[in-house]
Amino acid sequence: MNEQNGGFFVKRNHSPNNIVFWASSFFITILVIWGAVSPESFAEVATAIYGFTTRAFGWFYLVTVLGIVFFCVFLAISRYGKIRLGGDDSKPDYPFFTWIGMLFSAGFGVGLVFWGVAEPMQHFLITPVDTEPLTADAAREAMRYAFFNWGIHQWSVFTVVGLALAYFQYRKKTTGLISSTLNPIIGKEKKSGIRIPVDTLAVIATVMGVATSLGMGIMQINGGLNYVFQWPSGTTTQLIITAVLLVLYLLSSTTGLDKGIKFLSNLNLSLALLLMLFFLFLGPTVFILNSLTLGIGDYLQHFLGMSLRLTPYEGGTWVQDWTIFYWAWVIAWSPFVGSFIARVSKGRTIREFILGVLIVPPVLAMVWMSVFGGSALNLDLFHGTNIAQAVNQDVTSALFATFDHFPFTMLLSVLAILLIFTFLVTSADSATFVLGIMTTNGDLNPSMLVKIIWGVLQAAIAAVLIISSGLQGLQTASLISALPFAVILIMMCYSLFKALSREPRQKRKREPRPDRKRKKKEGELPSES
C-alpha cells in the first residue's frame, strides 16, 4: 500500500522489520550491555580508538572538512544555487525563524549552552598556541579558536548531508536514506551489499552522537542543580535526570513534527535570545561588541591557517583534543542533523539552504560565544575573578559560575537549566524521529513503536557512557563511526555534484517567433543589421 507524503509516494513500512533496524539496534544493545557490565574495559577501548583515529587520521579530517566548506560555497554561487529542493513551484514549509530554531534544536543548541563559557575559558587557561595563559593575548586567541571551532566548518558538514538528502528526497523522489544520496554512483538498483552497511553506519553514528549530546547536557543540568541548589552531584542524580528526559521526549514525540518539535524549537530559540540579550545589555556591552568584531576579523584573517593547523614539529595534543575532535564529532553527528535539516527544508532553493545553514547558525554561535565567553573573560581580566580556574575544576558549572557575578543569579540559573532541558528534549525527540525514518526504509512518519525503541536505546547508551567514564567517554564514544563516515561524506559530495550537473540549464524565456517578426516589422525591435 502506498500513501502520499511529503509531495511524493513512499512505501509505508511502520514495522521495524528490515536489516538496518536489526543490525544497528543489535550493535547498540551490545554496547549498552558491555558498558553496563564492564565500564572500565568499555572506556579503555573507546579511548584507544579515539587516540588512534585522531593521531593517524587527523590530517584527513582537516582536509575533508575544508574541502566540504569549499564545495558548499561553490554550490551556493554556481548556477545550481537556483535549483529548488522540490518541484520548481514548491514553497518552504516553515517560516524562517521557526526553521532556524529547528536547526539549533537538532542538537547543537545544547552544545553551545555547554561550551559557551567553558570553551573560551579553557583556551584562556590552556592556550592553543605558545601564548602566556590568563593574559590579554590568551583571551584574544581563546575567542578566535572558539569562533573557529563553532564556525562554518562545523556547519558545512551538516549543510552537505542535509542538502544531499533534501535534493534526492524531494527533487528526485527517493527515500530519505543516506544510501539514496549515492544513487548516481551505485545506481538505483537495490545493491544491498552497499546500501545496508552505509545506512547501518549512519544509524550507529546518529545514536552515538545524540547520546553524547544527551550525556553532556545531563551532566551540565546536574552541575547547575549542584551549583545553585546544592543538589547531590553524581551518577545517581544523572540517571534520574536521564529517566525524566526519556519520559519527556517520548511524550513530545507523540505530538509529531509540526506540533511538539515546532513548538519547542520556537521556545528554545526565544529562551536563548532572551538569555543572550540579558547578558548583552547588563554585562560589559561595549567589551562584548568589541570582542565580537575583533574575533570575526581574527577568524577571517587566520581562516586557512587554522583550517589546516597541525603540530608535527612541536608535538602537543591541543589540536587533537579540540579541532580534530570537533570535526570527528560533527561528522559522526551529520547523519542525524543532516536528516533533520533536510526534513524541514523542503521548498527552499539550494542557495537559500546553504546560506541559511552555513551562515546563520555560525553567526549566532559567534555572538553567543562573545556574549557569554566574553563576559567571563572580562570578569577574569579586569575584575579579579577566577572563572577559568572554576571551569578547569568542573567544566559543567562554567555557565553557572559566571552567573554568580550578575544580578538575578537565581533567575538566570533557572532559565539556563530550563533551556538545557528543552534543548535536550527537542534533540532527542528529533533524533527518535530521524532514526525511525532511517530504520523503516525511509518512512517519513515512522510508527510510535520504532521511535520508543530508539528513544530508550539513546537514553541507555547515554547512561552507560556517563557511568563508564563521564565526559571523556561521551566525547570518545561518538567518534567510533566518524572515520568511515568521512569517506561516505566525500562520496556524497561527488554523487550530489554528478546529479546536479545533469540538471537542465534554465533557458531564458523568448517570445514566440511570429511575435518577434511582427515587432521587428513594426519597428519595435532593432534591425539585426
Give the model's pLDDT for residue 1. 35
Torsion of CA 433, 86, 109, 309, to 10 degrees: 120
Q: What is the mean pLDDT of each run of 10 residues along the chain (529 residues)?
A: 36 57 86 79 79 88 97 96 90 82 68 89 93 95 96 94 94 90 83 83 83 81 86 88 87 64 73 87 93 97 96 90 89 87 90 92 92 95 93 87 90 87 81 86 82 87 74 62 89 96 68 50 46
Q: How far is CA 142 from CA 93, 134, 365, 452, 472, in A?
A: 39, 10, 15, 41, 21
Which pLDDT belongs to residue 302?
97
Distance CA 375, CA 385 (A): 11
Query: Would you list the DSSP string of 235-288?
Result: HHHHHHHHHHHHHHHHHHHTT-IIIIIHHHHHHHHHHHHHHHHHHHHHS-HHHH
What is the pLDDT, as a whole number, of residue 351?
A: 95
Distance in angstroms (rounded) separating the CA atoms of residues 226 and 144: 31
Q: What's the confidence (pLDDT) of residue 512? A: 52
Q: Cα angle at 341 between 186 and 453, to 5 degrees?
A: 85
Please say whether the beta carbons of 365 and 150 come within 8 A.
Answer: yes
Using CA atoms, how far residue 528 sits from 413, 459, 512, 517, 524, in Å, is 75, 73, 17, 12, 12
pLDDT at position 135, please? 95
pLDDT at 292: 97
Rounded to a whole number of angstroms, the distance between the first and last alpha carbons of the chain is 64
Task: State the residue for C-alpha cell 535526570.
Answer: 241
C-alpha cell at 74: 561553490
3-state secondary structure 273-300: HHHHHHHHHHCCHHHHHHHHHHHHHHHH
- DSSP string for 285-350: HHHHHHHHHHHHHHHHHTHHHHHT---TTT--SHHIIIIIHHHHHHHHHHHHHHHHHHHT-TT-BH
State the sign of the Cα–Cα–Cα–Cα dihedral 126, 128, 133, 135.
negative
DSSP string, 501-517: HTSPP-PPP---HHHHH
Q: What is the pTM of this model?
A: 0.85
- Cβ contact 26:457 at 8 Å: no
The CA distance from 84 to 102, in Å, is 20
Task: Name the nearest CA neighbour of 400 among 376, 421, 422.
Answer: 376
